[in-house]
C-alpha cells in the first residue's frame, strides 16, 4: 500500500533553489549565493555536507520529471489587476520538482541521475550546467534542436509570505520515443529508487510510465511527488511504492 504524507510549503524564501510543492529532502547547510549585479544568474554552492548518517555503498537514485529555470521576483505585496509595482529583489536560478529533488539528493551525498528534456537554447544549457555543478548526472537528458526549455515566473509576496508560480512548459515535450531501451536500461542500473514528479504534460507522463513500468519490473521502489491532478497520473500512482503529495492533491476531483 502506498504511504501518503501531506505537507504544505508556505515559505517564500528566495535562498537556493525554488522549493518543490512538498519537500522530500532538506538541504543540511545554507546555500551561498553570489551575484555581481541585480540581473546576474545566481550560482549555488555548499562548502560542506555533514555526514549525519552512513551513506550506503550503492547510493544511486534516478529522477524523472521537470527541470527548469526560475525567474523569482519578490514584491512587498501581491499586485492588484492592472497595477504597476516595483520589485524588491530578483533572482534567476534552477527549478523544477525533479531538478530540486535531485539537487537535494546530491547535496545529501547520494549519486542522482535525471531523465528530462531541455532545448538547445540558453536556458537549456544553463539548466544542464547548474545540475552538473551540483553533482547530478545529466547524461540521460534529452536535448532537442530548436524549441524552448521550461521556465517559470515566481512572484514572492513578502507581506503574505506566499509565492505564485507561472510556468511555461518546454517544447517539444518528451515523448516515449525519446527513451531508447539501452539508455533506459543504463539509467536504471543499480539505482536504489526512482523519483517521479507530477508536473508533466500528457506525453511526458507517457514517457514517465515507460520508466516506471521498467522500474516496477525490476522491483525498484518508486516515489511519486503528486503535486496536482493530471491526465494519466493515476496510471503512475498505481505503480508507486510511496506517494508524497501536496495538501491540495487529495481534495482534487
pLDDT in tens, 179-230: 999 999 999 999 999 999 978 888 899 999 999 999 999 999 999 998 777 7
Show the 3-state SS of 100-142: HHHHHHHHCCCEEEEECEEECCHHHHHHHHHHHHCCCECCCCE
Instruction: Give mean pLDDT, residues 108-120.
Output: 97
Residues 85 and 58: their CA atoms lie apart, in Å, by 51
Inter-residue contact 75 to 156 (CB < 8 Å): yes
Average pLDDT (145-160) is 96
Higher pLDDT, 34 or 44: 44
The larger pLDDT score, comparing residue 19 to residue 131, is at 131
DSSP 29-55: S--EEE-SSTTSPPEEE-S-----SPP
Q: What is the pTM of this model?
A: 0.77
Q: Residue 26: is its pLDDT beyond 80?
A: no
Between 196 and 20, the more confident residue is 196
* Longest alpha-carbon distance in the chain: 56
What is the DSSP code (8-state) at residue 25? S
For 154-178, write each residue's pLDDT tens digit: 999 999 999 999 999 999 999 999 9
pLDDT for the residue numbered 22: 38
pLDDT band at residue 33 under the 50/70/90 scheme: very low
d(CA 249, CA 127): 28
**Distance of alpha carbon 134 from the chain centroid:** 13
pLDDT of amino acid 79: 94
Measured CA to CA, the distance from residue 24 to residue 7 in angstroms comes to 10
Q: What angle do CA 12, 15, 19 make, to 5 degrees?
A: 60
pLDDT at 42: 47
| pLDDT (mean) for 108-129 | 97
Quote the pLDDT of residue 5: 39
Tell me the CATH class for 3-29+38-43+57-251.
Answer: alpha beta
The CA-atom distances, in angstroms, between 205 and each of 29, 95, 143 are 33, 19, 18
Check the CA dihedral 20-22-25-27 and report its sign: positive
41-97 confidence digits (pLDDT tens): 444 444 444 455 555 566 899 999 999 999 999 999 999 999 999 999 999 999 999
Question: Given this model, what pLDDT does residue 35 score?
Answer: 35
Identify the CA nearest to 197 among candidates 243, 140, 149, 163. Answer: 243
The residues, any chain, with a CB within 8 Å of residue 36's CB and separated by 6 or more, are none
Alpha helices in the chain (DSSP H): 97-107, 122-133, 181-188, 202-217, 233-237
Sign for the CA dihedral angle at 179, 182, 183, 185 comes to: positive
Amino acid at each position: 500500500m502506498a504511504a501518503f504524507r501531506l505537507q504544505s510549503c508556505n515559505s517564500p524564501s528566495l535562498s537556493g533553489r525554488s522549493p518543490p510543492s512538498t519537500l522530500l529532502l532538506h538541504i543540511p547547510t545554507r546555500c551561498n549565493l553570489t551575484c555581481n549585479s541585480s540581473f546576474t544568474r545566481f550560482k549555488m554552492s555548499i562548502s560542506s555536507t555533514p555526514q549525519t548518517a552512513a551513506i550506503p555503498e550503492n547510493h544511486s537514485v534516478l529522477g524523472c520529471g521537470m527541470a527548469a529555470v526560475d525567474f523569482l521576483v519578490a514584491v512587498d505585496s501581491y499586485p492588484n489587476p492592472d497595477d504597476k509595482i516595483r520589485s524588491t529583489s530578483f533572482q534567476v536560478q534552477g527549478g523544477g520538482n525533479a531538478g530540486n529533488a535531485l539537487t537535494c539528493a546530491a547535496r545529501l551525498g547520494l549519486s542522482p541521475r535525471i531523465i528530462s528534456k531541455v532545448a538547445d537554447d540558453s536556458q537549456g544549457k544553463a539548466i544542464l550546467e547548474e545540475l552538473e555543478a551540483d553533482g547530478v548526472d545529466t547524461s540521460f537528458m534529452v536535448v532537442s534542436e530548436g524549441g524552448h526549455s521550461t521556465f517559470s515566473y515566481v512572484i514572492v509576496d513578502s507581506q503574505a509570505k506566499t509565492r505564485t508560480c507561472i510556468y511555461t512548459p518546454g517544447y517539444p515535450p518528451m515523448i516515449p520515443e525519446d527513451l531508447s531501451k539501452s539508455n533506459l536500461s543504463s539509467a536504471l542500473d543499480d539505482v536504489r529508487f526512482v523519483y517521479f514528479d507530477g508536473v508533466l504534460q500528457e506525453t511526458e507522463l507517457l514517457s514517465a510510465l515507460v520508466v516506471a513500468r521498467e522500474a516496477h519490473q525490476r522491483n525498484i521502489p518508486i516515489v511519486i511527488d503528486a503535486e496536482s491532478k493530471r491526465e494519466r497520473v493515476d496510471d503512475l500512482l498505481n505503480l508507486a511504492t510511496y506517494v508524497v503529495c501536496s495538501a491540495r492533491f487529495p481534495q482534487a476531483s
